[in-house]
Amino acid sequence: MGPQATLTDHDLNTLDRHWRALNYLAAGQIYLTGNPLLTEPLRPEHIKPRLLGHWGTCPGLNLVYTHMNRVISARDLDAVCVWGPGHGGPAVFAGAWLEGTYGELCPDMGRDLAGMTRLFRQFSTPGGVPSHAAPQAPGSFHEGGELGYSLAHAYGAALDNPDLVVTCVVGDGEAETGPLATSWHANKFLDPVHDGAVLPVLHLNGYKIANPTVLARLPEGELDELLRGYGHEPLYVTAVAGEDPARAHQDMAAALDLALDRIAAFQRAAREGDGARRRPHWPMIVLRTPKGWTGPAEVDGVPVEGTWRAHQVPLAGVREDPGRLRQLEEWLRSYRPEELFGADGRPSPEVLACVPSGDRRLGSNPHANGGRLLRELPLPDLADHAVAVDKPGTRLHEPTRVLGGMLRQVMADTAERRDFRLVGPDETASNRLQDVYAVTDKAWQAETVATDEHLGPHGRVMEVLSEHLCQGWLEGYLLTGRHGLFSSYEAFTHIVASMASQHVKWVQTARTVPWRAPIAALNYLLTSHAWRQDHNGFSHQDPGFIDHILNKDPHTVRVYLPPDTNTLLCVADHVLRTRDVVNVVVAGKQPCFDWLGLEQARDHCARGLGIWEWAGTERPGGEPEVVLACAGDVPTQETLAAASLLRTRLPELAVRVVNVVDMTRLAPREEHPHGLSDREFDAVFTRDRPVIFAYHGYPWLIHRLTYRRAVHPGMHVRGYKEMGTTTTPFDMVVRNDLDRYRLVMDVLDRVPGLAVRAAGLRQEMADMRHRHHDWIRRHGVDLPEVAEWSWPG
């Protein structure tokens, strides 16, 4: 990097000591259960009984940790790191231990011999910590277990944190994933005025598990074009196996200085400049190191350092093979631990010279434990947004459009605080939330033209046609202590099913880590749902995300199906207040009958499910003969239509109508914290009456939730069963046997004696279904009577 070295000899020496200490501590975690400082010759009993862990990525991560320490100290920088590569746990735990954070958070991890021993022993050990930068790792808000999301998380963290620098180490294996590949474009959405900076460090160590990586094998010019095409200015740092690391230290220091100078200049220009918008070509670092750098160069004559063989445990069978044991000891001693730690295990002052203090330490920065920064979200009075309902089923509203008005208020009330964001894949307006554009824009740093609407550099609505990037942004935003909501077409939340799993697992685990503060819920609004894909058709119909989420930890997952506009408002108000959970809210965007006034909606949502007495025909003090249950807006409409038909045509039949908002109420109390006791459940559903349950999604979910209930043998569930196509709303319910006529027939078939008694009505219902088939074939639209249907009262 030119003749003028960035680092003085002294700095170089202390940085190298810090890096060596980290490398020693990382290797120690993989191998040692005793003799942590090598104060005696290594013996088999000092070696862990099972050697688990991944050495390959650690030295590179350690280099970043060391050098981030330098620049944080030198610049008093507010910085966090996202450690993208898989199995980077040893590096992150080592860094946090060495800087003292770990010992402050977990007193048994102090910077002494006992603490070091426990640090080593806990790693990848039953009851210990995993090999990833999991919630147990101080300073981490990204696990790196499943790969692909580091850069999106980093950008999410940087949003609305103008003074924060988020350094993001991207592994070259991870860089092959789709989510990571598109995350490079997140720089077109970063506001240099209100957001912080993301500094990607593409770590090319060349190999995945068993293969070279694509990016590491590109010719240099092609890689450079690619990164510039992504909108970055790449700065290169290359380390060579066997070479004195001094050059790598100098180059890394120079690259970091240059990158941070560039970032500061871009931010200054944007914040203090003439207001002209120029999208910065943000710097990034390409860090090329050997995989397993400084580890064994060869094992049994086969190259290891710098190859895929360094991925996991470079020396296996150490307990059994004295030669391997000796090689391990040589390797560990090559870091000269006696220079790095006192006999009591305390790191020497030289090792700690670069370490920042207090909350500037990477393991202590509050952004990486976002709950510490979380503030209550200001939520509006629902009465200002609720719709008036004089009589159920007489007026229509688009639930998500009304929600949009409420979210607009939240946006307005957080305009100064900037701790609330909406994300969505190009669908905020399609999902009818566009009222928010009255108070904020869609974030957009790229070119604009005259016909564009609602695009702006400072907007807090994030839209890009990548569910992965949307989810990653929001996760990063929440994990660093803010609030948000992801609106999506219902079917396409499956695209982020695996990300959602990983987030649930993070939250579930983080709840067990005492020093982690609770974070705001991850809230999904699933709309444009299966029943109303009139022009998108079969490919857009999939209500299974609910099933996916409900397989996860019951203390972390919630699913709500508000049946109308006011219930959606109440559910939204609730979920935006929750912590350490994932909420899935399914609600339609199409005009939907209003059933409940605001106070009724509040009560109903607070209970989670309940009897809609006004919709049924039970006699006071009597027992129902049949229960019509429903969950979801379209099933609720069809159920109430069926109840209305029964009321008119069979007024003597005692029908009970039950609506379910919170799906987990159906689960047994022992299986979900929201689950009803059997007594509560039976009071609503009865113990022995036929239940016809019209459900929004795959019908089996209801069976799965209720199979232990007394009433279950008589429960008959209608739902979505993959009978979809491009068709009308009513045709969709007919195809899936969820329509009002079918529900009436189900009642007649299941109430003892009724099929015979009401044979005429049954035939009439069957005729209506035939009439529908005939009508739609001839006219291409729904029967007028179903479209114009209204609640009789």
Task: Output the six-digit token pair for 418.
Answer: 């900037």
| Strands, E assignment, 647-747 | 655-660, 691-695, 715-718
By CB under 8 A, name the one of 469, 479, 576, 631 that touches a copy of itself.
Answer: 469
Among 261, 381, 707, 785, binds a copy of itself (CB under 8 A): 707
Using the minimum distance from each CB to a copy of itself, give the nearer residue, 104 or 534. Answer: 534
Q: Least distance from C-beta 281 to a copy of itself, angstroms? A: 8
Residue range at the interface with a copy of itself (CB under 8 A); choices 7-15, 58-66, 131-139, 375-383:
131-139
Residue 524 CA, distance from chain mean position: 10
Write each residue from 762 to 781 as x if it is in contact with a copy of itself (CB under 8 A), else as -, in one continuous string: --------------xx-xxx
Applying CB under 8 A, does 746 fall inside the site for a copy of itself? no
Q: How many CB atoms lie within 10 A of CB 219?
A: 8
- 235-254 as b/e, with b when 16 or more CB fall inside 10 Å? bbbebebeeebeebbbbbbb
Q: Give CA–CA dist 14/195, Å, rounded.
A: 33
On whether the CB atoms of residues 426 and 455 are closer than 8 A, the answer is: no
Taking CB under 8 A as the rule, does residue 544 contact a copy of itself?
yes
State how far the Cα of 457 lies from the Cα of 193, in Å rounded to an integer: 9
Residue closer to a copy of itself, measured from CB, 607 or 703: 703
CA angle 129, 65, 113 (to 5 degrees): 55
Which uninterrupted H or E stretch holds 509? helix 497-510
Of 58, 109, 147, 474, the one binding a copy of itself (CB under 8 A) is 147
Give the closest residue to 747 by CA, choosing from 631, 666, 645: 645
In this structure, are residues 308 and 209 in contact, taking their beta carbons and an 8 Å threshold? yes
Q: Considering beta carbons, is residue 223 or 601 the nearer one to a copy of itself?
A: 223
Q: How far apart are CA 663 and CA 545, in angstroms?
A: 13
* 173 contacts a copy of itself (rule: CB under 8 A): yes
Instruction: Point out which span in 314-322, 505-513, 624-632, 760-768 binds a copy of itself (CB under 8 A).
Output: 505-513
For a copy of itself, give the closer residue by CB, 75 or 704: 704
Applying CB under 8 A, the span of 106-114, 408-416, 537-545, 651-659 interacting with a copy of itself comes to 537-545
Query: β-strand 283-288 against 298-299: which pairing, if any?
Result: unpaired
Say if strands 461-463 and 483-489 run parallel, antiparallel, or are unpaired. unpaired
The answer to whether the Cα torsion of 356, 362, 367, 372 is positive or negative is negative
Closest approach, Cβ 299 to a copy of itself, in A, equals 13
Looking at 36, 53, 196, 345, which residue binds a copy of itself (CB under 8 A)?
Answer: 53
User: Which residue lies nearer to a copy of itself by CB, 247 or 548?
Assistant: 548
Which range of residues in 49-57, 408-416, 519-527, 650-658 is near a copy of itself by CB under 8 A? 49-57
* DSSP 3-state of 171: strand
The Cα 745–Cα 766 span in angstroms is 8
Which is closer to a copy of itself, CB of 394 or CB of 434? 434
Stretch that binds a copy of itself, among 244-252, 550-558, 603-611, 677-685 (CB under 8 A): 550-558
# of chain residues touching a copy of itself (CB under 8 A)? 122
> Cα-flanking dihedrals φ and ψ of residue 266, to 5°?
-60, -45
| Least Cβ distance, residue 396 to a copy of itself (angstroms) | 18
Cα(17)–Cα(490) distance, rounded to whole angstroms? 52
**731 is a site residue for a copy of itself (CB under 8 A):** yes
- C-beta of 279 vs 372, nearer to a copy of itself: 279
d(CA 783, CA 768): 10
Q: What residues from 175 to 214 belong to the interface with a copy of itself (CB under 8 A)? A: 176-185, 188, 208-214
Q: How far apart are CA 215 and CA 284, in angstroms?
A: 15
The answer to whether residues 200 and 255 touch, using CB atoms and an 8 Å cutoff, is: no
Q: Cβ of residue 7: shortest distance to a copy of itself, in angstroms?
A: 31
- From 377, 726, 764, 766, residue interacting with a copy of itself (rule: CB under 8 A): 726
Site for a copy of itself in 62-81 (CB under 8 A): none
- Of 501, 597, 668, 678, which lies in the binding site for a copy of itself, with binding defined by CB under 8 A? 501
Q: Of 209-268, which residues contact a copy of itself (CB under 8 A)? A: 209-214, 217-219, 222-231
Record the tokens describing residue 571, joined without a space: 């559910």
Q: Which of 359, 413, 441, 547 binds a copy of itself (CB under 8 A)?
A: 547
Give me the residues paired with residue 659 across strands: 610, 630
Taking contact as CB under 8 A, which single stretch among the options 143-151, 354-362, 517-525, 684-692 is the one that binds a copy of itself?
A: 143-151
Which string of DSSP letters, residue by residue, matches 516-538? PPP-B-EEEEEES-GGG-TTT-G
Residue among 260 and 694 whose Cβ is closer to a copy of itself:
694
Which amino acid would we find at residue 169? V
Q: Which of residues 296-315 bind a copy of itself (CB under 8 A)?
A: 303, 306-308, 312
Is 467 or 737 the residue whose CB approaches a copy of itself more closely?
A: 467
CB of 277 to a copy of itself, least distance (A): 13
- Is residue 607 a contact partner of residue 636, using CB atoms and an 8 Å limit? no
User: Least CB distance from residue 43 to a copy of itself, whole Å?
Assistant: 17
Give the residue with the Cβ less far from a copy of itself, 533 or 639.
533
For the bound state, the minimum distance from the C-beta of residue 587 to a copy of itself, rounded and expressed in Å, comes to 19
C-beta separation of 779 from 758 below 8 A: no
Shortest separation between residue 204's beta carbon and a copy of itself, angstroms: 13
Q: Distance between CA atoms of 656 and 688, rounded to whole angstroms?
A: 13
Q: Which stretch binds a copy of itself (CB under 8 A): 48-56, 66-74, 359-367, 372-380?
A: 48-56
The residue among 100 and 231 lying less far from a copy of itself, judged by its C-beta, is 231
The binder of a copy of itself chosen from 99, 174, 251, 475 (CB under 8 A): 174
Near a copy of itself by CB under 8 A: residue from 62, 131, 480, 637: 131
At 111, list the tokens. 């910077």
Distance CA 731, CA 741 (A): 12
Q: How far apart are alpha carbons 535 and 728 in whole angstroms?
A: 9
Q: Which stretch binds a copy of itself (CB under 8 A): 354-362, 424-432, 566-574, 599-607?
A: 424-432
Pairing assessment for the beta strands 164-171 and 592-593 based on DSSP bridges: unpaired
CB-based contacts of 117, cutoff 8 Å, min separation 6: 33, 34, 36
318-347 residues in contact with a copy of itself (CB under 8 A) are none
Applying CB under 8 A, which of residues 203, 505, 589, 762 lies at the interface with a copy of itself?
Answer: 505
Which of 94, 734, 642, 670 is CA-nearest to residue 351? 94
Identify any residues that bridge with 461 across adjacent strands, giving them in sequence order.
422, 442
Nearer to a copy of itself by Cβ, of 224 and 764: the residue is 224
CA distances from 607 to 45, 420, 580 (A): 59, 28, 21
Q: How far is the CB of 513 from a copy of itself (least distance, A)?
A: 13
The answer to whether residue 704 forms part of the interface with a copy of itself (CB under 8 A) is: yes
- Binding to a copy of itself in span 439-468, by CB under 8 A: 442, 444, 446-449, 451-452, 455, 463-468
Q: Interacting stretch for a copy of itself, rule CB under 8 A, among 109-117, 153-161, 334-342, 696-704?
A: 696-704
By CB under 8 A, is residue 427 in contact with a copy of itself?
A: yes
For a copy of itself, the binding residue among 85, 130, 280, 347 (CB under 8 A) is: 130
Determine the residue type at 466: S
Other CB atoms within 10 Å distance of the CB of residue 465:
11
Taking CB under 8 A as the rule, does residue 495 contact a copy of itself?
yes
- The contact mask relative to a copy of itself for 14-33 (x = CB under 8 A, - = no) is -------------------x
| d(C-alpha 196, C-alpha 385), whole Å | 34
